[in-house]
């Protein structure tokens, strides 16, 4: 299955515009990750983080922190939807 475009995934014009506003500071090494508080070094990959409910941005985050948090949140949602398997007999 192909990924939806950036707008459909919640990263449309407003997100891209705010990311571009942060880019000069991040590229200059003047920004710390909003999650781990460590510096984002020039040239390091980074993402513009947002709250879990996507109602606000948290600021630049190192890519590792941002995507790890997304993975944990996605797993929690997936695992919360799992249905308990029922067997025809007790084991």
What's the pLDDT at 29? 97
Q: Which residues of the chain have pLDDT under 70?
A: 1-3, 8-10, 69-91
pTM over 0.85: no
* pLDDT value of position 49: 92
Strand duo 57-62 + 46-50: pairing:
antiparallel
- Residue 53 CA to residue 58 CA, distance in Å, equals 12
Instruction: State residue 50's pLDDT score.
Output: 87
Residue 89 has a pLDDT of 55
The tens digit of pLDDT for each residue in 64-86 reads 998 886 656 655 556 666 655 55
């Amino acid at each position: 299955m192909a990924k939806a475009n950036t707008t459909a995934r919640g990263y449309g014009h407003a997100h891209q515009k705010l990311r571009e506003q942060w880019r000069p500071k991040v590229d200059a090494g003047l920004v710390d990750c909003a999650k781990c508080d460590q510096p984002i070094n020039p040239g390091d990959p980074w993402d513009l983080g947002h709250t879990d409910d996507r109602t606000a941005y948290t600021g630049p985050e190192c890519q590792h922190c941002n995507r790890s948090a997304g993975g944990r949140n996605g797993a929690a949602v997936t695992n919360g939807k799992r249905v308990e398997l029922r067997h025809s007999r007790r084991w």
